Each structure stands twice: as C-alpha cells, then as structure tokens.
C-alpha cells in the first residue's frame, strides 16, 4: 500500500514538473513571439510610412492569423505555433513576415471596416500587398512566396483562392515593387494611360443623385469617368433626342436616360414614367 502511494506521488510529481517546464517554455516562447511579431509589424508599417498603432495579440485558438476590428480598434491576432512551424519548414523568417503583411493588407485596404466576410478578391489584394511590401523590405521572390508555397491550398476553398492564384498575386505585387525600384519611377515621370479615342476637352459635368462619383461630357458628346488610377473611361455617348421634350439621350448600365434643355437628367422608366435622377452643369472656361 505504502509502495503504491509512493509511486503515485512520484508519478504526480513528474506530471507537475513536466507541466511547469512546459509552461515555462511556452511563456518564453510567447515572449519571443510577441516581441518578434510586434517588431515585424512595426517594420512593415515603417515601409508604408505609418505608425504601429495596431494591437498585436497571441491566440492559440486560431489556425494561423487574422485581422479584425473590435470596438473601433484594429487588431491582428496570430498563433505562435503556426508562425514557428512555417519558419521552420521554409527556413526563412520572411514566411512569417509575409503572413503579418497579408493581415496588415486587409486592414490597410479597408477589408475589415465592415463585418468581415471572406472574399477571394480581398485575399488576392492582401496577397499582392504582401508581395509588394516584402520586396520593398528586401525579400527576394522565393522568400516572398515561401509561406504560400508551403501552406496554400492547391484547389482553393470557399474562403481562399487556389495556390496558383495566390502565388500569382504575390508575384505581381513583388514585380510591381521591383519595377518601381529598377526604373527609379517617381511621380514626375508617371504618365496617364493614353486613350486615343477619348477627348478630354470637357464642356459639362454630370452628377447622379446619391452617387458621389463625378462624370464629364466632352465636346464630342462622350460621357467620361476617371477610375482609381486616374485613367479616363468611356461610359456612354450622347445622341440627339428625337422630339421636343428633351435634348439628348444616352444609355448607362442598361438604362435609358434623357437630358432636358435645363440640364436635368431623367430616367426613362418602364411604361413611360420619368424620374429625375441627376443634372448636368456647364464647365466655365478658365483663364490660362
């Protein structure tokens, strides 16, 4: 009886000692991970010209990493076990940095402003940002794609694109950064995309009610909009209205619109109904 009790106590003591050692090791690992993760995020943001005002937290309950907003504060949580594993399997710290860059990309690209929903488009945009910023920081192409090459899903999933698509997005971002570096591109050397068929001598502005975009009508009656890169895009063309009620007609997003003599824009709805949806205004000539 006494012998069994002694063996039992020795067994319990071994478990407690093992648990304490494991906890101590885990705590040390957490310290290193916490320090390194925060340092990595600060350096990524440094190359973006931003201050490190994100909250970085350890979370062993998630499989890898996640960007989210809670009570109007921006967070990135990560699993240190995943980070350590991916570094060990790829033999480069850049693999872990690419994960953090990807999550920062979600924040900086506005993907977390609203309740987050998985989107292939958003994931590829964050991948492209990761490739771009890692190149700016000094990673070569192999280091930039090391993580996705090891962890990417070959066929993709409902939440994430395929390995091929994600790798292509990272490469595209990396190559964009390389192009800027090799060609010493600066703002003064950039040119707008030339559209030979578009005339940018504008005579009128066009605004739709509830639409914050600005549209322009040129001297040959084309309706022009500028995309997020500042490139002119042809949306529609005006044609003279047959009748006395309106001056011009145009089609936009599969709907028929007419402009009257005062510049008001009307949607020609079904069954002959008309709805006032916007207006045009003359662009005043400016002195050179």
Q: Which of 12-26, 153-167, 183-197, 236-250 has the highest mean pLDDT?
A: 236-250
Check if the beta carbon of residue 128 is closer than 8 Å to that of residue 172. Answer: yes
pLDDT at 238: 97
Rg (CA), the chain: 29
Q: What is the dihedral of CA 183, 185, 188, 192, to 10 degrees?
A: 90
Domain map of the chain by residue range? 12-182, 202-282
The Cα–Cα gap between 22 and 14 comes to 12
Q: Could you write out the three-class secondary structure of 239-288?
A: EECCCCCCCEEEEECCEEEEECCCCEEEEECHHHCEEEEEEEEECCCCCC
Task: Tell me: pLDDT of 171 over 90.
Answer: yes
pTM above 0.85, yes or no: no
pLDDT tens digits, residue range 42-78? 999 999 999 988 999 989 999 999 999 998 899 999 9
- Torsion, Cα 205 210 211 212, to 10 degrees, reads 80
């Amino acid at each position: 009886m006494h012998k069994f009790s002694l063996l039992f106590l020795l067994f319990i003591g071994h478990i407690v000692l093992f648990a304490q050692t494991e906890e101590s090791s885990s705590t040390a690992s957490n310290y290193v991970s916490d320090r390194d993760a925060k340092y990595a995020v600060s350096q990524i943001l440094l190359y973006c010209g931003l201050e490190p005002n994100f909250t970085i937290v350890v979370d062993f309950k998630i499989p890898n990493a996640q960007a989210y907003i809670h009570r109007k504060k921006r967070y990135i949580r990560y699993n240190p076990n995943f980070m350590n594993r991916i570094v060990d399997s790829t033999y480069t710290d850049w693999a872990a940095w690419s994960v953090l860059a990807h999550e920062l990309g979600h924040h900086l690209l506005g993907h977390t402003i609203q309740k987050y929903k998985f989107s292939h488009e958003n994931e590829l945009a964050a991948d492209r940002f990761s490739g771009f910023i890692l190149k700016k920081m000094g990673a070569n192409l192999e280091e930039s794609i090391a993580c996705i090459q090891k962890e990417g899903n070959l066929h993709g999933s409902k939440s994430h694109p395929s390995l091929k698509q994600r790798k292509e997005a990272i490469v595209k971002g990396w190559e964009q950064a390389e192009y800027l570096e090799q060609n010493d591109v600066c703002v003064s050397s950039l040119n707008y995309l030339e559209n030979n068929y578009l005339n940018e001598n504008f005579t009128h502005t066009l605004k739709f009610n509830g639409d914050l975009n600005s549209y322009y009508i040129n001297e040959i009656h084309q309706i022009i909009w500028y995309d997020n890169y500042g490139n002119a895009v042809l949306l529609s063309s005006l044609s003279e209205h047959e009748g006395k009620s309106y001056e011009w007609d145009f089609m936009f997003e599969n709907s028929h619109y007419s402009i009257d003599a005062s510049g008001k824009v009307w949607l020609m709805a079904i069954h002959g109904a008309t709805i006032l949806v916007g207006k045009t205004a003359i662009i005043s000539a400016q002195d050179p």
